[in-house]
A and B are shown apart, each in its own frame.
Chain A
Amino acid sequence: DAGVIQSPRHEVTEMGQEVTLRCKPISGHDYLFWYRQTMMRGLELLIYFNNNVPIDDSGMPEDRFSAKMPNASFSTLKIQPSEPRDSAVYFCASSLRGPGQGIYEQYFGPGTRLTVT
């Protein structure tokens, strides 16, 4: 398996533009997680899905952020409109099991480095 795949790896956009980040989880994994990492705040869980259904989106910073998982092999994180403070590395991770199901291994993608100017 190729692991978790994210695209693009780097994204530079101007403030106010819409940004869409993409993730393909490991085949067979039922859980998908979106994280954001900054120097100031470290890693933060934004949202996670189980079987394509959003379970906990309490980490989504504001309404400008939205995430979807239309099928088991694809998820998007969209920021509209983008702001300079959204600049960060966004990671996607997947796992066979998830929170509340005991021990589970998460596999992270390489991340998307977003820069909003």
Chain B
Amino acid sequence: KNQVEQSPQSLIILEGKNCTLQCNYTVSPFSNLRWYKQDTGRGPVSLTIMTFSENTKSNGRYTATLDADTKQSSLHITASQLSDSASYICVVTFYSSASKIIFGSGTRLSIRP
């Protein structure tokens, strides 16, 4: 069964600290993996997109890694800011008879001052 699982479900850290969010998937054959940031009451905004041949991709203080062999991805946030408080969603696209998109359930991150 094609699944995308994220951990932890929620996380609270102090401002200025680093954190890492995890995404494991069982999707096959894999096409690409995205990380989205979703602020409360807003639509998701893309942070990174990676294909199977890419190991890492950065977007400012956000760095995503991908291990296509173990089917794991992580999103590392450096020097967290209050504005990083949001849900982070991992999304995997795969190709069966047609392209399909599967969303993880997200990690709710709260940054405390």
Interface presence of A42 (CB below 8 A): yes
Nearest chain A CB to B59 CB, angstrom units: 12
Nearest chain A CB to B105 CB, angstrom units: 5
- CB pair A108–B99 under 8 Å, yes or no, is no
The interface on chain B, measured as residues whose beta carbon lies within 8 A of the other chain's beta carbons, has a size of 21
Q: Which of B46-69 contact A (CB under 8 A)?
A: 46, 49, 51
Using A100-B95, A108-B43 as known contacts, say yes or no to A42 and B103 having CB atoms under 8 A apart: yes
Main DSSP-derived SS at the B contact region: strand
- What's the Cα separation between A52 and B101 when bound, in Å? 20
Chain A's interface size range is 20 to 34
Nearest chain B CB to A98 CB, angstrom units: 8
Chain A residues near B (Cβ < 8 Å): 4, 42-45, 55-56, 91, 93, 98-100, 102-103, 105-106, 108-111
